[in-house]
């Protein structure tokens, strides 16, 4: 009797072939480690210790499912989420939908440019307004790479920046490990007053980001196209699961590291109310190298995320309105609100947190159509969501919407 053994070289070739197809989720994952995350997570850890660890875990689990559904929509239909919305909406609805999406895009850009400006101030003592301008210029250079050389080189640059972000924020946790029992205790869902709800909404808004939901459908479509071959399509969907899972695992680890670092190093300190003061506290507690890595991670976060955000905004406009503004021109327009905030000397950390709350309110507008479309058998065919997937996706939408309503109530009543 003869037996056959797998050829190791053939297995290696298959792994390399699959690895080459990874990347779109890593670009989308930049949205999950942007300066808004830094502000929200560090503020949550410094003010409430380990209380909101559960928000990080839940938000990243939700994000993984949402990003896969967006990627699946692009792969199966060959259209982006904004394009599918456009095809199924009346003109007034499209315009209103685009208006809220643009508001969300402006909030996104504000967070990213302000974050880059803060990082440049920490590293080189540049004035915040000058740092905002430098961040905008560098983001234009990154967008030029995408415009002239295509998506793959852009992906490589963004993945490199993601690696820098990961090292910058995970380093503090490695240098001074947090309490394991307190971390486990933070997995119990609970709040402590209106401010904790505000920060939880900001953390979710910074993690499950609307523009990333829209963008991922375009990233997978542009990278892989729409295959008519069933076997190829199934293979791409399987690889996309790995792509999303790996990218979100990295993003989740970075977010958790931010909060744990703040809870362990900064918790209980009365003088930590901004990213700048958190940076100073880290320098005092863990040394100058830890503070340097934190600032470098923040800078990489701002540069990468503002480029991805501008890319997403252009895609949303083109998908909904069939109008295209040159990407660099759009970059200039969306840079203005952030520069106004910096020029007006508004507290940049507070501006970052409020921008993330605005993003949280925009999530249902992206998430509800995504769940509806991916649950539509006429649109998705055999790749339609399973009932359990649909139920989980609707639960995510309900949780986020309920949190937003609770946030409004607590803010209005001052509870």
Determine the Cα–Cα distance for residues 347 and 368; give it in Å rounded to an integer. Answer: 33
Whether the Cβ atoms of residue 54 and residue 275 lie closer than 8 Å to each other: no
The angle subtended at Cα 290 by Cα 289 and Cα 295, nearest 5°, is: 95
Determine the Cα–Cα distance for residues 202 and 43; give it in Å rounded to an integer. Answer: 10
Query: Domains of the chain, with CATH numbers?
Result: 27-413 (1.20.1740.10)
**Does an H or E element contain 240, and which?**
helix 230-261
Whether the Cβ atoms of residue 265 and residue 280 lie closer than 8 Å to each other: no
Determine the Cα–Cα distance for residues 127 and 100; give it in Å rounded to an integer. Answer: 32
For 232: left if phi > 0, alpha if psi spans -120 to 50, otherwise beta; the answer is alpha
The angle subtended at Cα 359 by Cα 51 and Cα 211, nearest 5°, is: 120
Given the structure tokens 């100073």, which residue do they identify?
280
Determine the Cα–Cα distance for residues 275 and 351; give it in Å rounded to an integer. Answer: 12
Determine the Cα–Cα distance for residues 216 and 74; give it in Å rounded to an integer. Answer: 8
Given the structure tokens 């994000």, which residue do they identify?
63
pLDDT tens for the chain, 415 residues: list them. 444 444 555 444 444 444 445 678 888 888 888 887 887 888 889 889 999 999 999 999 999 999 999 999 999 999 999 999 999 989 899 999 998 888 887 888 888 898 899 999 999 999 999 999 999 888 888 888 777 777 778 888 888 988 999 999 999 899 889 999 999 999 999 988 878 887 887 788 667 888 889 999 999 988 887 778 888 899 999 999 999 999 999 999 999 999 999 998 887 666 666 788 888 888 888 889 988 999 999 999 888 888 888 888 888 888 998 888 877 777 777 788 888 888 988 888 777 767 767 777 788 889 999 999 999 999 999 999 999 999 999 998 888 778 777 766 665 665 5
- Whole-structure pTM value: 0.87
């Amino acid at each position: 009797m003869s037996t056959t053994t797998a050829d190791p070289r053939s297995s290696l070739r298959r792994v390399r072939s699959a690895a080459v197809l990874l990347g779109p989720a890593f670009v989308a994952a930049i949205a999950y480690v942007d300066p808004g995350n830094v502000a929200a997570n560090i503020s949550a850890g410094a003010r409430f210790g380990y209380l909101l660890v559960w928000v990080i875990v839940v938000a990243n689990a939700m994000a993984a499912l949402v990003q896969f559904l967006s990627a699946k929509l692009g792969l199966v239909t060959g259209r982006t989420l904004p394009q599918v919305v456009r095809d199924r909406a009346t003109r007034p609805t499209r315009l209103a939908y685009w208006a809220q999406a643009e508001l969300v895009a402006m909030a996104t850009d504000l967070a990213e440019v302000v974050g880059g400006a803060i990082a440049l101030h920490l590293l080189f003592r540049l004035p915040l307004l000058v740092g905002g301008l430098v961040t905008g210029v560098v983001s234009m250079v990154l967008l030029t790479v995408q415009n002239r050389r295509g998506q793959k080189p852009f992906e490589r640059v963004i993945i490199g920046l993601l690696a820098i972000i990961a090292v910058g924020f995970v380093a503090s946790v490695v240098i001074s490990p947090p309490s394991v029992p307190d971390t486990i205790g933070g997995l119990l869902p609970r709040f402590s007053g209106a401010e904790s709800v505000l920060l939880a909404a900001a953390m979710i808004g910074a993690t499950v980001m609307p523009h990333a939901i829209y963008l991922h459908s375009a990233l997978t479509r542009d990278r892989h196209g729409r295959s008519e071959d069933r076997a190829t399509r199934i293979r791409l969907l399987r690889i996309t699961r790995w792509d999303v899972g790996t990218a979100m695992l990295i993003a989740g680890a970075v977010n958790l590291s931010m909060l744990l670092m703040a809870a362990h190093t900064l918790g209980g300190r009365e003088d930590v109310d901004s990213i700048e003061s958190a940076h100073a506290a880290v320098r005092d507690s863990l040394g100058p190298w830890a503070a340097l890595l934190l600032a470098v991670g923040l800078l990489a976060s701002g540069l990468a995320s503002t480029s991805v955000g501008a890319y997403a905004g252009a895609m949303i406009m083109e998908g909904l309105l069939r109008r295209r503004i040159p990407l660099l021109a759009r970059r200039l327009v969306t840079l203005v609100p952030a520069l106004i905030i910096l020029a007006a000397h508004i507290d940049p950390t507070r501006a970052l947190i409020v921008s993330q709350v605005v993003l949280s309110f925009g999530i249902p507008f992206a998430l509800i159509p995504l769940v509806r479309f991916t649950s539509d058998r006429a649109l998705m065919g055999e790749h339609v969501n399973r009932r359990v997937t649909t139920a989980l996706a609707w639960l995510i939408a309900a949780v986020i919407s309920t949190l937003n309503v609770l946030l409004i109530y607590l803010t209005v009543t001052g509870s």
